[in-house]
Chains A and B, each alone.
Chain A
């Protein structure tokens, strides 16, 4: 009897815990601000060693994406609804606005969609395969169906649990980029004053 109940419970808990893309999206949606460290390895074909870089990332649902590479050299990228800014070394920031260049912006929306698992945007641009890997782990393999993405990437793979842990990008030219995220921090749930400044143009 106990055994049966146990099995039933196990069955129920299994069905209950089968994660779907919608679950992931819902879970991400409940995280207004995510801060994390990132570690990037980029393998370019023909180059002897991979390019390592690392830094901090901030994803704010209401604002956008802040990506700060700290090693091997500082470089900051900020994306919001209408701006894209790249700040590098002591050079003047390069700012592109949505009005002046919708072409580039299309790409930005996509980038933000990746980090937030925005199903609507993802479905428009990729065919996707979602797998539950057990123990709360999931994987989403995206294959681009629109230009220019299909000219750049063969697949984009996202992995995670409550958070996004890993993005792997397979270039068409055989290059490979892996970004892993660690030390996720959800608190405070609002942007601090200092963090808000990062999105001021």
Chain B
């Protein structure tokens, strides 16, 4: 195997230096590529390109970031209208450094500006209803104007008739009032009244800055809570409800923090105690961390080299796969611990090398199969996992023979138990056949009762009080947080508005057909539409004047000049307040408009409508996530099956049909056992369970191959596997206790899966070494 001129030790020294050079190179590579690399955290980019649509990512992200910053409050003084508490709350919010644009009531000046803008731009702000009345010469508009004039309660004044004889301002105001929310204006405040008769005053604002880290989010939430207490002291009857993504992200990070602090402590103590007990040294721990660390380093560098970017989700998943490589270190170290007395470090390496390389090759093949997946995210995962595992393994092979000098050598702990276990596998049919058969039955039973659930909402139990407040606010304002909307986009603002106008009739029809409850369309027309409206006005004006004259009403000639309203002018004006969120213009002119839709009954139907109009995309975040999850789940299931097939094939080619197939049994039973545990614990299969299965597969391969190594000692292998099992249980297995359901189900599959792999791994014992276990140790 090695050159005969140099001593094995010299060769190995060169290997070690060579590997150091490679690692240095990888570090250099990472230093060069990392600053340029894009760490992608958008879940959307994991979606297959076809379902993503053609919504420009800057527009999509722009809207999402902006929406994530929004905050909304409703302050109730009690069942008597009084805006003192709300005004106090507004003053307090305005003093918070983390908030900006806090808005409460529209003052008299604002209201006046509002009216003025509508009046001065009346020819450019024609509403849909007025437009339809102006069609066919304007007869309907004449009737409408007369009705307004004759109505005692319409409040038409002589001044209005003189200044705006076509009553366009009145028309657009009334149209706006009809689309407006269920709220009324009181003293400039938007106010809603709930079923118990309480008044609720609306305020809104946004978080300053686009990204909020965990700490800042925590402080902001605590500050708001403190303010709420103060409000209660000042106004004992008052109540506040809040809504914003901030509260959910803070809740999630609090929960994660709780998980990390409680589970993390258990992990550290557990692993440390285990390693100390088995090896009587902390060095193995350091070596495990080193090899996994180098694996992660190599994985990141190579993936960035190949793809130029890395997805956050890939990174997290790949890291855990590379974490499995700690098994390599443990296997070698166990060998050293038991046989360090009689063998040199290099001789020990030779003993475990075939198993290590085989395990590496098999696992790498299993993960590399995933490169066939049509998603960049999964391909990145394949490359990351394969290169990371290789680097990890090479670290063990090249460096650790030098790192293990002086490691305490002692006998296998609990050897009676371990020997008895091995014995039973060889001589006791109840064990040899009974355990796999029992596992098979349990697996089949479990899998048969397995339910699939890709509903993202079921992955995490959201806090009840947050949900209650959100629902209450939605009921009061009529504005939900459904996150269902059309995104209309174009190369220019004008193109976007024209596309919006093509969508509008479809929306009106959907609402009339009761396919949706409501939608919010920005009240702004394209210049093309404004020009057409002007034409309508010019045609209708003489008819209108004539009709009014017949009723004895003489009016001055209306102003029929163009009064163009561009998105730019509109956004700067007071009339866009409350609507600005729905419009986005990028510096290069690309623009987008959001059309939130509520009460959607058939998300798919809306998707089809969007597909028919160029520049319109339908976004249903919940459905999209569910689809994404189900898509990845089935994809991973296919890939997993392919990986198992590849592994089986490699075993059969190497060991022959009978032993090959026998060796694949532990892998199959571990997968089945994991799934059965999931079903029996009442969880449903989702993407996270599949990810756990991928790890189970990799770990199962290690256990099987460590056992099937003809040069190895079964007892040592068993010890190595036991330590590896316990380490994994202490680390990833701890996730069973996570409060987040998705993570807990991941932990269950993983823990039970690898335990089954551990139970059945002795099946792979080579026939030649059977019975040797007792003699050698």
A148 and chain B: residue at smallest CB distance: B185
Supposing A49-B552, A96-B178, A101-B182 touch, asked if A42 and B161 sit within 8 A by C-beta, the answer is: no
Supposing A44-B156, A45-B158, A173-B159 touch, asked if A88 and B182 sit within 8 A by C-beta, the answer is: no
Asked if residues A73 and B143 are in contact (CB atoms below 8 Å), the reply is: yes
Asked if residues A46 and B158 are in contact (CB atoms below 8 Å), the reply is: yes
Asked if residues B150 and A46 are in contact (CB atoms below 8 Å), the reply is: no
Supposing A99-B182, A103-B184, A103-B185 touch, asked if A46 and B159 sit within 8 A by C-beta, the answer is: yes
Residues of A within 8 A of B162 (CB): 46
Asked if residues A51 and B182 are in contact (CB atoms below 8 Å), the reply is: no
User: In the assembled complex, how far is the CB of residue A85 from the closest CB belonging to chain B, in whole angstroms?
Assistant: 13
Is residue A147 within 8 Å, beta carbon to beta carbon, of the partner chain?
Answer: yes
Is residue A89 within 8 Å, beta carbon to beta carbon, of the partner chain?
Answer: yes
Residues of B within 8 A of A152 (CB): 155
A107 and chain B: residue at smallest CB distance: B153
Partner of A171, one of B150, B151, B157: B157
Residues of B within 8 A of A174 (CB): 157-158
B156 and chain A: residue at smallest CB distance: A44
Is residue B146 within 8 Å, beta carbon to beta carbon, of the partner chain?
Answer: yes
Asked if residues B144 and A88 are in contact (CB atoms below 8 Å), the reply is: yes
A53 to B150, CA, bound (A): 7
Residues of B within 8 A of A96 (CB): 178
Is residue B64 within 8 Å, beta carbon to beta carbon, of the partner chain?
Answer: no
Asked if residues B553 and A91 are in contact (CB atoms below 8 Å), the reply is: no
Asked if residues B143 and A47 are in contact (CB atoms below 8 Å), the reply is: no
Residues of A within 8 A of B140 (CB): 89, 91
Is residue A159 within 8 Å, beta carbon to beta carbon, of the partner chain?
Answer: no
Asked if residues B184 and A89 are in contact (CB atoms below 8 Å), the reply is: no
The total number of A-B Cβ pairs within 8 Å is: 88
Asked if residues A44 and B161 are in contact (CB atoms below 8 Å), the reply is: yes
A72 and chain B: residue at smallest CB distance: B551
A147 to B155, CA, bound (A): 14
Residues of A within 8 A of B153 (CB): 107, 111, 169
Asked if residues A75 and B158 are in contact (CB atoms below 8 Å), the reply is: no
Main secondary structure of the interface of A (DSSP, over half): mixed
With an 8 Å Cβ cutoff, the count of chain B residues facing the other chain is 32
Residues of B within 8 A of A89 (CB): 140, 143
User: In the assembled complex, how far is the CB of residue B175 from the closest CB belonging to chain A, in whole angstroms?
Assistant: 11
Main secondary structure of the interface of B (DSSP, over half): mixed
Partner of B177, one of A42, A73, A104, A175: A104
With an 8 Å Cβ cutoff, the count of chain A residues facing the other chain is 40
Asked if residues B143 and A91 are in contact (CB atoms below 8 Å), the reply is: yes
Is residue B6 within 8 Å, beta carbon to beta carbon, of the partner chain?
Answer: no
Is residue A183 within 8 Å, beta carbon to beta carbon, of the partner chain?
Answer: no
As a 0/1 sequence over residues 401 to 421 of chain B, the CB contacts with chain A under 8 angstroms (1 = contact) are: 000000000000000000000
Near A by CB (< 8 A), chain B positions 185-204 give: 185-187, 193
Asked if residues A47 and B158 are in contact (CB atoms below 8 Å), the reply is: yes
Is residue A1 within 8 Å, beta carbon to beta carbon, of the partner chain?
Answer: no
User: In the assembled complex, how far is the CB of residue B312 from the closest CB belonging to chain A, in whole angstroms?
Assistant: 43
A91 to B146, CA, bound (A): 14
Residues of B within 8 A of A173 (CB): 157-159
Is residue B152 within 8 Å, beta carbon to beta carbon, of the partner chain?
Answer: yes
B147, B149, B177: most-surrounded residue (chain A CB, <10 A)? B147
As a 0/1 sequence over residues 172 to 185 of chain B, the CB contacts with chain A under 8 angstroms (1 = contact) are: 00000110101111
Residues of B within 8 A of A169 (CB): 152-153
A66 to B185, CA, bound (A): 27
A47 to B551, CA, bound (A): 12
User: In the assembled complex, how far is the CB of residue B565 from the closest CB belonging to chain A, in whole angstroms?
Assistant: 24
A48 and chain B: residue at smallest CB distance: B554
Asked if residues A75 and B147 are in contact (CB atoms below 8 Å), the reply is: yes
Near B by CB (< 8 A), chain A positions 97-151 give: 99-104, 106-107, 111, 147-148
Residues of A within 8 A of B182 (CB): 99-102
Besides A51-B553, A102-B193, 14 other A-B contacts (C-beta < 8 A):
A42-B149, A42-B152, A44-B157, A45-B157, A46-B158, A86-B147, A88-B144, A88-B147, A96-B178, A100-B182, A101-B180, A147-B187, A173-B157, A175-B157
B contact residues vs A (CB 8 Å cutoff)? 133, 140, 143-144, 146-147, 149-153, 155-159, 161-162, 177-178, 180, 182-187, 193, 551-554
The 3 closest A-B pairs by CB, nearest first: A46-B158, A173-B157, A45-B158
Jot down 9 A-B pairs with beta carbons below 8 A, ordered by A: A46-B158, A46-B162, A91-B133, A99-B182, A101-B178, A101-B182, A173-B159, A174-B157, A174-B158
